[in-house]
Every structure is written in structure tokens, then in C-alpha cells.
Amino acid sequence: MEEHHDHGKNTKVFFSNRTNETKYYLLTEGSGYPLAEFSFPNLSTYRGSGMVVPENRPKTAILFQAPMRPSSLRKVD
Amino acid sequence: MARQQRIDLIRQISELRGSSVLCYITGDRENVNTRIAPDVTQVFYRHLEMFGECRQIDLFLYTRGGDVLTPWRLVHLIREYTPRFNVLVPFRCYSAGTLLCLGADEIVMGKMGELGPIDPSVVNAFNPQDPNNPSARIPVNIEDVYSYLALAGEKAGVCSTDQQVKAFTLLAERIHPLALGNVHRNYLLIRSLAKKLLAMHQQPLREGRIEHIVDNLTEKLYAHNHMISRREAADEITLAVLLPDSRLEPLMWALYQDYAEEMSLAEPFNPAEQLRGARSDFEVVSGFVESIYGVDAFIFSGFVERRDFPEAGQVNVSILKQGWRSLS
């Protein structure tokens, strides 16, 4: 009994190193450095400038996989 | 792992090193980061008072950086309690973290240990606005400013005083003069701090070596995200790097991994996952200061609520409180 999986033929892998994503963070005088998109109803209590700054964190691989066609799976009894 | 398992690891490191160990982790979990900042000073004081006078203090440190002045304050505070201070670096220790390391007698770096340049970016109300987000200010890297002036002078053939003034004027038209003034102050500040921290070592470094280290960490690495391995730190930059032995290295990595798992550093904080019903409260731990005597955590707390306007399925996240909390 054999099983054949041809999903490898339908898979495309695309690596893109250092795909940067810019997000905006709230810089205060304290240790907290949260996403600026959040709401801060009590911001005045943080004693900070409340300055919004962009931050780029490099990301690594993107894996792209094409959807498998059902007929590519074969089972032989 | 629970605190008890971390205490066991900290105790083993402490016994191997003959030191009192203080762990300081500023988490870099996406969306809920923490950074080195002045509000941690009092937290350090709480732990150091429990330590009392020590033969040697090791700071186990993971950070992507933060405020430029806090490392100076922390090193001074730690040295109130010990004549010998070292930093244990299991992984990232960038920017202000590297600056803190300069005040240490030894930097114990595991294979994954990474330092970074100490070229700060400055931001205040006079910085340029981000064209993609007008509510945001673009940080200005001080080495970028001086590199531009060097580029104008060396490469563009700007030699005469008039031409140099013109090059500077061009810059001042793009960046507010008060932002440039802030840049210059911090250019001088970072070099001064680095030299003074290096001068605090139990075994004084010779003058030429201090200059060499400071030059390399400020302007000669050419990229702020240059990751300095322990070999480069020791051989090229001539920092006081020590390699942990085969007993210490796995303990350091295991302790880092414990914190990383506890704070889910590898996974972005996704508020939508916190939502149960129309509104849910949450608390997320994003930083630690820990010793065998106690643990403090930096906690963001707030709520997430469903908002089906203007588009269905949106969530709104409100941070009500953020700060250090003593857990034990």
C-alpha cells in the first residue's frame, strides 16, 4: 500500500528577508512603550511627552504556499 | 516556568559566579514593549536593599534599549552595594543596554549574546513630522546628522567655509534648529557617558582603549542595527568580555528562555484574542526585575471592546494603567 503526496509540486516558497514593518509606538518617560493605536484615557498620569514615534523591526522569511488541488492526493491500495 | 524554577536557575548562576544576581528584562513583545527608563531605578533600589553589601553583583540583562541617562544612574546605584559589577548577556542587549555594560567590570556573553551601537536617536516636539502619520515625530539619529556633514565635507568637495555653511543651512531647513541643537547635545552626552562608565571599572582601562571602544560603539559601526557578537566585542572593540563555561552558558540561556516564554515575546500581543463577549479586561506582563528575594513586573492593564462601527469586527484597546508592580 502506497501513499503519494504531490503537494510539493503545488508549493511555492518565497523568502523575503528583512521585510520591514513600520509601527507607531507611544514614547513616555516610563518603561512602557506600547502601540500608539491603543487608547490611553489616563495619559496625563504617565508624566510623559506622549510622543508617537515610528519603529521598524526587521522581519525574516515569508512562506507562500499555493493551495493544494484535491486530485494531487492519491492513495493506492 | 513558575517563579520557583527561575529562582532555582538564578541560585545556580549565583553559586557558579559567587555573585548576587539581579535579572532585568525589558520585553520586546510586539505591541506591548518596554524599554530602559528612569522609573525602574526605584525597583532596582528595592532589590539592592534586600541584597545588602555584596562581594559581586551580576545583572542578567535582556533589552533592546531605552533612555540614554538611565544606565548611568543604574550603574551608580548598583555600585553603592558592591565593588565589582558585571553584566550577563544571554541574548539581546542593545543600545542603552550596551551603554549599561560599559559600566561593568565584566560582560559575560553567551553564544547568542549581542550588543549594539550606542548611537542614540533623539526626538522632541521640534523633530520632523512623519509624512505617513502626521501625529508622529521622526527620531533623528545623531550619527546620521554628523555623517551628512562629513559626506558634504569629504565627498561633495565642500571645502570652503561658505560651502560648509551652505551645507549646514540646507540641513537646518529640513530639521528644526532646536532639534539639531538637541542632536549636538546628545552627540556630546553619549560620548561623555560612555567614557565615564568605562572609567568606573575596578581595574582602570588605559586612555587609548577607552577612546577606541567609544569610537567603535558610536560612529565606526555604521548601522544602528549592527549586532555585535561576543567575538567582535572582545577582539575588535576590546570590551571586557568573558565567555561563560559549559555549566554557566546553558543556565543563562534557560533563564532567558523562561522569561521569553513567560512574556510570550515571540508572539505579538493580539488584543482581539483577549475578547470574550463585548468587552474584556486584560493584564499583560511586559518586563521583569527579579532576584531570589523578590519579583517586580511591568504590567499593562486595560480593556478591549468590540466596535462594529465603522466596520464590523473591529476592536478598541484602552490602556488604563501601565507600571511596575511588586509581585513578591
Average pLDDT, integer, range B137-153: 83
Indicate whether B30 pLDDT > 90.
yes
Which of B154-158, B249-253, B300-304 has the least mean pLDDT?
A: B154-158
pLDDT per position as a tens digit, B124-140: 888 888 888 888 888 88
Considering only alpha carbons, which residue of chain B is nearest residue A58?
B225
Percent of chain A scoring above 90 in pLDDT: 16
**Numbered residues of chain A with Cβ closer than 8 Å to any chain B Cβ:** 22-25, 27, 29-42, 46, 49, 51-54, 57-58
Say if the Cβ atoms of A34 and B32 lie within 8 Å.
yes
Q: Who among A25, A29, A54 is closest to B130 (CB)?
A: A54
Indicate whether A21 pLDDT > 90.
no
Question: Considering the entire predicted model, what is its pTM?
Answer: 0.86
Q: Who among B26, B125, B138 is closest to A31 (CB)?
A: B26
Cβ atoms of A14 and A64 closer than 8 Å: yes
Q: Measured between CB atoms, does B40 come within 8 Å of chain A?
A: yes
Which of B18-22, B173-177, B254-258 has the least mean pLDDT?
A: B173-177
Place A65 in a pLDDT band, splitting at 50, 70 and 90.
Answer: very low
Helix orientation angle between B248-262 and B3-17, rounded to the nearest 10 degrees: 150
Q: Measured between CB atoms, does B136 come within 8 Å of chain A?
A: yes
Say if the Cβ atoms of B138 and A53 lie within 8 Å.
yes
Average pLDDT across chain B, whole number: 91
Average pLDDT, integer, range A14-43: 79
Indicate whether A77 pLDDT > 50.
no
Give B-chain residues touching A21 at CB under 8 angstroms. none
Distance from CA of A68 to the nearest CA of B (A): 28
Indicate whether A60 pLDDT > 80.
no
Say if the Cβ atoms of A30 and B31 lie within 8 Å.
no
Cell of B303: 480593556
Dihedral angle, C-alpha B172, B178, B181, B182, nearest 10 °: -120
Say if the Cβ atoms of A54 and B319 lie within 8 Å.
no
Place A44 in a pLDDT band, splitting at 50, 70 and 90.
Answer: low
Distance from CA of A40 to the nearest CA of B (A): 5
Average pLDDT across chain A, whole number: 63
> Rounded to an integer, what distance in angstroms lies between the CA atom of residue B181 and that of residue B98?
25
Q: Who among B136, B298, B316 is closest to A32 (CB)?
A: B298
> What one-character-per-residue DSSP string does B180-229 give?
HHHHHHHHHHHHHHHHHHHTTSSSPPPHHHHHHHHHHHHTSS--TT--B-
Bigger pLDDT: B166 or A27?
A27
Supply the pLDDT for residue B108.
Answer: 98
> What one-character-per-residue DSSP string does B10-22 give?
HHHHHHHHTSEEE
Q: How many residues does chain B have?
A: 328
Say if the Cβ atoms of A40 and B132 lie within 8 Å.
no
Give A-chain residues touching B287 at CB under 8 angstroms. 31
Supply the pLDDT for residue B164.
Answer: 77
Say if the Cβ atoms of B33 and A40 lie within 8 Å.
no
Name B1's Cβ contacts closer than 8 Å, sequence gap at least 6. B258, B261, B262
Supply the pLDDT for residue B154.
Answer: 74
Supply the pLDDT for residue B1.
Answer: 56
Bigger pLDDT: A70 or B156?
B156
Q: Count Cβ atoms within 10 A of the Cβ of residue A65 and give its class: 0-12 exposed, 13-18 middle, 19 or more buried.
A: exposed
Encoded amino acid at B49, one letter:
E
Supply the pLDDT for residue B127.
Answer: 86
Give B-chain residues touching A42 at CB under 8 angstroms. 320-321
Supply the pLDDT for residue B207.
Answer: 77
Indicate whether B153 pLDDT > 80.
no
- Which residue, among B307, B283, B241, has the nearest Cα to B106 in the 3D structure? B241
Say if the Cβ atoms of B317 and A39 lie within 8 Å.
yes
Q: Who among A24, A33, A57 is closest to B133 (CB)?
A: A24
Characterise A8 by phi-psi region: left (phi > 0), alpha (psi -120 to 50), beta (else). Answer: alpha
Which of A59-63, B140-144, B177-181, B277-281 has the least mean pLDDT?
A: A59-63
- Which residue, among B55, B57, B37, has the nearest Cα to B47 in the 3D structure? B57
Distance from CA of B136 to the nearest CA of A (A): 5
Indicate whether B81 pLDDT > 70.
yes
Taking only Cα atoms into account, the Rg of chain B, rounded to an integer number of angstroms, comes to 22
Place B157 in a pLDDT band, splitting at 50, 70 and 90.
Answer: low
Say if the Cβ atoms of A52 and B32 lie within 8 Å.
no
- Which residue, among B172, B182, B245, has the nearest Cα to B16 in the 3D structure? B245
pLDDT per position as a tens digit, B261-297: 999 999 999 988 878 888 999 999 999 999 999 999 9
Indicate whether A16 pLDDT > 70.
no
Q: What is the DSSP pairing of strand B20-26 with strand B57-62?
A: parallel
Give A-chain residues touching B289 at CB under 8 angstroms. none
Name B174's Cβ contacts closer than 8 Å, sequence gap at least 6. B128
Place B220 in a pLDDT band, splitting at 50, 70 and 90.
Answer: confident
Distance from CA of A58 to the nearest CA of B (A): 10
Considering only alpha carbons, which residue of chain B is nearest residue A52?
B136
Percent of chain B scoring above 70 in pLDDT: 96
Supply the pLDDT for residue A64.
Answer: 43
Supply the pLDDT for residue B206.
Answer: 84
Bigger pLDDT: B156 or B201?
B201
Bigger pLDDT: A59 or A68?
A59
Distance from CA of A65 to the nearest CA of B (A): 22
ipTM: 0.87
